[in-house]
Amino acid sequence: MKFLDEFRDAEKVKILVDQIHSLDPPPINIMEVCGSQTHTILRYNLEELLPKNINLIHGPGCPVCVTPIEIIDKAIYLSQNEDVIFTSYGDMLRIPGSQSSLLEAKASGTDIRIIYSPLDAIRLAQENPHNKVIFLAIGFETTAPANSSAIIIAQQSLLNNFFVLCSHVLIPPAVEALLSSELIKLNGLLAPGHVCTVTGTSWCEDISDKYKIPISVTGFEPVDILEGILITAKQIISDEHHTSNQYKRVVTRNGNITAQKIINKVFGICDRNWRGLGEIKNSGLKLRDEFSNLDAEKVFELNSIKHHEDERCIAGEILQGLKKPFDCKIFGNECTPTNPVGAPMVASEGACAAYYNYQAI
């Protein structure tokens, strides 16, 4: 496939690996922020190709993993209303809530539909005027424009049976929270290419300056990841700290301004609880008041729902890069992709699922 195969080419991977080895780097920690990058690293076993001194730390960039458990519980509660068609991206269905997952709720008879695009939820609302269609809007800046666009379409077409349960999160405040915590020493970052496709790269430049850390805005194929590591390691060795754009074929400095405007029209900034990480200030998006007639949290009574986390799961430490999945006592035994205890074992880009699927135990 054009623009994919060339960036999985074994010859080019070898050239980049040789270049990284020729740097003979000191011990360094580089965090790939995005879970899709973690997935590529594990799938292609890139860590094995790198010098032993380069330690890749897997970051919190999996929106499915960090969606708070109370949102899953609220989603299940809403899906149990008889006239509700609950819609969600497929990634969310097996994420454990306090009692069950959306998939288990679906098996028990609730009407939960997997959608590919938010426009599918709009179509369902148009085709089922006697049902309430509720859309679980999650994701980072990558997904926020599409969800915003669908919300605008719903309001403009005067759909009165379309509602949104919103749990959007933002990457820059989470990266800043990690860098400020000083729990882990990071020498460089691979920033998430598709978030930056929307946002542009200026927030990375600000973080590079503020925290004196090199950042490479990086794509998702093996050639991209290795080139991002090469660029970052070179900067670390020469004691530089600026932002480079490895993913220029897709990411521009200003990002997609049309998409940014649509996000700002629909959403305002709020504090948001990240599963495993706790509340991060200004790290979420909430529907603006003009869209409160679509806001499921305002239209339906949801405040009385209690939730509790399984205490055996160390997802919070894994998402902060403090521990690897192998450090978890229940990894691969009590917690597996078919019987997950924590969210990172379920999500396609969750670190635990990637380790389970691609690494020898």
Partner 1 sequence: MCLAIPGKVQKLDEANSSPRMAEVNFDGVVKQVCTDFIPDLKIGEYVMVHVGYALNRVDEKEALNQLKAISEAEEIIRKNMK
Among 44, 140, 163, 356, binds partner 1 (CB under 8 A): 140
Among 43, 210, 212, 248, binds partner 1 (CB under 8 A): 248
Nearer to partner 1, 73 or 91 (CB): 91
**Token match 């998409």: residue?**
259
- The reply to whether 319 sits near partner 1 by the rule CB under 8 A is no
- The reply to whether 4 sits near partner 1 by the rule CB under 8 A is yes
Query: How far, in Å, CA of 209 to CA of 266, rounded?
Result: 31
Q: Beta-carbon neighbour count of residue 338 at 10 Å?
A: 7
Nearer to partner 1, 89 or 163 (CB): 89
Considering only residues 63-122, where is the footprint of partner 1 by CB under 8 A?
63-64, 89, 91, 116-120
Nearer to partner 1, 15 or 305 (CB): 15
Among 15, 159, 237, 322, binds partner 1 (CB under 8 A): 15
Any residues with CB less than 8 A from the CB of 161 and at least 6 apart, and which?
125, 128, 129, 130, 131, 132, 133
DSSP notation for 168-202: EE-HHHHHHHHHHH-SS--SEEEEEHHHHHHH-SH
Token pair listed for 236? 């670390």
Write down the least CB distance from residue 4 to partner 1, Å: 6
Nearer to partner 1, 2 or 130 (CB): 2
Among 25, 35, 68, 214, binds partner 1 (CB under 8 A): 35
Check: CB of residue 72 under 8 Å from CB of residue 305.
Answer: no
- For residue 264, the Cα-to-chain-centroid distance in whole angstroms is 20
Nearer to partner 1, 247 or 331 (CB): 247
**What number of CA atoms fall less than 13 Å from residue 7's CA on the CB side?**
19
Write down the least CB distance from residue 361 to partner 1, Å: 26
Query: If 0-12 CB within 10 Å is exposed, 13-18 middle and 19+ buried, where does residue 126 land?
Result: middle
Encoded amino acid at 269, one letter? I
Among 223, 225, 229, 266, binds partner 1 (CB under 8 A): 223
- The reply to whether 32 sits near partner 1 by the rule CB under 8 A is no
Among 79, 142, 161, 187, binds partner 1 (CB under 8 A): 142
- The reply to whether 1 sits near partner 1 by the rule CB under 8 A is yes
Among 114, 159, 179, 250, binds partner 1 (CB under 8 A): 250
